[in-house]
Every structure is written in structure tokens, then in C-alpha cells.
Amino acid sequence: MSLLDAPAYDEAREKRRRNTIITVVVVVLVIAALGWHFRHFRQEREVSAFFAALEQKDYPKAYGIYYNDPQWQQHPDRYKEYPLNEFQRDWGPSGDYGYITSHKIDGSETGKSPSNGVIVFVKVNNRPEATRIFVDDEKHTLTLWPF
């Protein structure tokens, strides 16, 4: 086969090839953008569940979410540093927010601390300033930021 025996140019084949490449690039970019946008979805969902329990005044459930231990009542001695009654004082009607009636997740960012985690910004009771909740990536526990 010589150069003069090259196959004929197939315009339809080249269009399909170009369109396939463009489609693959667009799909990869969309997946990357969605991955970036939802990179802290799990942490935001945990914080939202915490505040939803507080809105329902289900303090034992919120306490379990706070410590990532739904069965905390089986071993309350593990949480002597911050017992349920102090938790209720801080997050209940006598706390900084009063009764929590609404919350809105307002974004998140990677925490810059000795432990790895995510800071989730929450607008509580339509206040203008956001409350910062730190979600520890290893333990999945919550705490106010800064510590």
C-alpha cells in the first residue's frame, strides 16, 4: 500500500468522532463540577439532621447525632464531659438561639485544624450570621467552631 492508495476521507466518520470527543469532555466536566459542588454533602446532611432534631425538640436524638452515637443512652458515662442536661441548656430554649424553629445550610468549607473535618455554615432561626458547626471526618461528631 502506498500513499496514493490511502482510504477516502469519510466526513461522517470524522463528525461522529469529533462529537464523541466533545460529549465525553462535557460529561467529564459536568461530573467534576457536581462532585465539587456536593463534596461535603454527607457532613451537611448530618448537620441538617442535627438541627431537624432540635427543631422537633427531640434533644436525646440530637445528642446522639452530636456524638455520632444513636445508642448513647446505653453508655451515658462516656459523655460525662458534656452530659445531656448541659446539652439541653445550650441548645434548648435557654440557649443562645432559644427554641430552634428553622435552619438553612449556607455552605461549607474544609476545616483548618489538627483534626480533619468540615465546617458547615448554618443560618439558625433566620439570623443574619451563620453558626459554624465542625464535623470531624474520623469520628463524625459535631461541635461548634471554633472549639
Domain co-membership, 91 together with 50: yes
Low-confidence ranges of the chain (pLDDT < 70): 1-3, 111-115, 147
Write down the pLDDT at residue 91: 93
Torsion 14-15-16-22 (CA) sign: positive
Domain co-membership, 16 together with 59: no
Write down the pLDDT at residue 110: 85
Biggest CA–CA distance in the chain, Å, is 89
Number of domains in the chain: 2
Domain co-membership, 49 together with 84: yes
Write down the pLDDT at residue 137: 87
Q: In 3-state terms, what secondary structure has residue 127?
A: coil
- Is 4 within the bounds of a domain? no
Domain co-membership, 24 together with 47: no
Give φ, ψ of 146 to 5 degrees. Answer: -75, 165
Give the count of alpha carbons within 13 A of 81, CB side only.
Answer: 2
- pTM of the full structure: 0.82
